[in-house]
Structure 1
């Protein structure tokens, strides 16, 4: 029988450069904590410990919340809103062009200027008439 046999714990040592690289990847938003964990084979607790240690933005005792999905959703909603507003502006521009064309046609056919003349002087008002 084997006496005094102990199982050795496997413990890895990571360089500070490697740790800082992982923190930089996390802070850039390119990779989530879970993706870093799967990519490098490092437990999530250790990755977040490194983030608290090396990141100037995250302090111990604060909670880090990754909202990548919700920020993507919000970005898509904003893009949809921009497209909707662009369509509305396009419709309004078509309406303006249509009305300007109608004014042109009315001017030609009725021989009357419908648009307000900006160059004409302002009226001075009516003169008083004397009672007889």
Structure 2
């Protein structure tokens, strides 16, 4: 019976790399969890770097990240803007479609659906009564 040995590769990061990640965290660009996912680093390691290299987070300080961090709010706003742009595009397509239908009605049937305010009202419903 053979045993499989799993070797884990230990990565070492330079001080410049660590400090750059901490600057990104301190600036609000990324949360600890986002840095962890981006660089495949455990959150505990990042917290250790924060305590070691951060200018305002010391060992006795407890770091609490709010769910509504600046990064999350920014992503939510970007998502909302994309939704609104999509809705605006759909409305614009509807407007163009309706304007084309109005133009076709004028060309093929002689009906002017775009009336100016100085145009007298049509007698369309009264013609059948006379």
TM-score in terms of structure 2 length: 0.46
Structure 1 or 2, whichever has the larger Rg, is 1
Q: TM-score scaled to structure 1, two decimals?
A: 0.46
Larger RCO (CA under 8 A, 6+ residues apart): 2
